[in-house]
Every structure is written in structure tokens, then in C-alpha cells.
Amino acid sequence: MELFSVGKSTVREAVRSLSYIGMLVPIRGVGSYVSSLPAASCIGECLTLAADFGRA
């Protein structure tokens, strides 16, 4: 968080958003893991997510 100068809530929202589009798989009490989806299959969602964060 210090590296990017963001707060816990920003990181939490990013993890939630990446989980929603299927890029992360959260496992309660264990952690979050990058999914096995090919990167090309979610490039549109990634770009939309980046644009949304840019407007915030």
C-alpha cells in the first residue's frame, strides 16, 4: 500500500473488483489467488476497470 500511496479501502475495492470479473479467486481465511483464466479473455473487463478507477 505504501508503494502506491493508497489506503486499505482502495486495495479492498480493487480485490473485490478483480474477483468480480474473475481474475482473482478469494478464499476466506486463506487469501486471494490469481485465476487460471487466459489474460486475453478478460482484457475488455480489465480496460473498463482501469478506466473506472481513473475516474474515481
Whole-model pTM over 0.75: no
Which residues neighbour 51 within 8 Å (Cβ) at sequence distance 6 or greater? none
Ranges of each domain in the chain? 8-55
- Average pLDDT across the chain, whole number: 80
Question: Does the pLDDT value for residue 2 go beyond 70?
Answer: yes
Average pLDDT over residues 1-12: 84
- Cα separation, 45 vs 32, in Å, equals 19
Cell representation of residue 51: 478506466
Average pLDDT over residues 5-12: 89
- Cα separation, 17 vs 30, in Å, equals 18
C-alpha dihedral (45, 50, 54, 56), degrees to nearest 10: 60
